[in-house]
Amino acid sequence: MPNIILLGPPGAGKGTQAARLVAERGMVQLSTGDMLREAKTSGTEMGRRVAEVMDRGELVTDEIVIGLIEEKLATAGGNGFIFDGFPRTLPQADALGELLARTGQRLDAVIQLVVDDAALISRIEGRAAEALAAGKPVRADDNAAVFADRLRAYYKSTSPLIGYYYALGDLFTVDGLAPIESVAKSIANVLDQAAEASVG
């Protein structure tokens, strides 16, 4: 059962590929955003802590996010986990590594969806134009200026993870701008390699 991280800037297609892995391989997607929303309404002790922090408009600490992930690792079945939106920073990567070691699990692959920023921005602008042409509201995320800010934030905090996981020998790169089917096939190849390596 492979455990993987999907890395890549916003708009790279991580959500699309994670959904396919869930549907086709029975993997469990651990999205920090979904977990926080779920915890907030769960009524558990951890959920109350999350709700208090979010209600104050503050960012949830790494310790809380790791606690939520630990709960999920212990209770969710499935054929491996997809870490989506976590880790975002080097301290989070260290914390995740420690958690997996403590729970007798391992990280099998970090799959980086490599994209060209200019192509990403034109993709976002295209989505906005399509929405306008169809008379639909444009998503806030589909504003090129807002998107450029999100890209900068990604490269500032998350891109150091690329070197971190490369040094550990866990990093695999996939062309994120290829057609969706081609990206899915490349990810499947990485998972198959990881499965063989874990058996060997």
Q: Is 14 a catalytic residue?
A: yes
Residue 132 to residues 98, 126, 148, Cα–Cα distance (Å): 47, 10, 20
Catalytic residue among 37, 127, 156, 185: 127
Catalytic pick from 20, 25, 72, 88?
88
Instruction: Return the SS3 of 196.
Output: helix
Q: From the candidates 48, 139, 152, 156, give the one annotated as an active-site residue.
A: 139
Q: How do the residues of the chain divide into helix, strand and coil, expressed in percent and rounded to 5?
A: 60, 10, 30
Mark whether 123 is an active-site residue: no
End-to-end CA separation in angstroms for the chain: 14
Is-catalytic flag, 49?
Answer: no
CA distance 118 to 23: 31
Which residues are part of the catalytic machinery?
A: 14, 88, 127, 139, 150
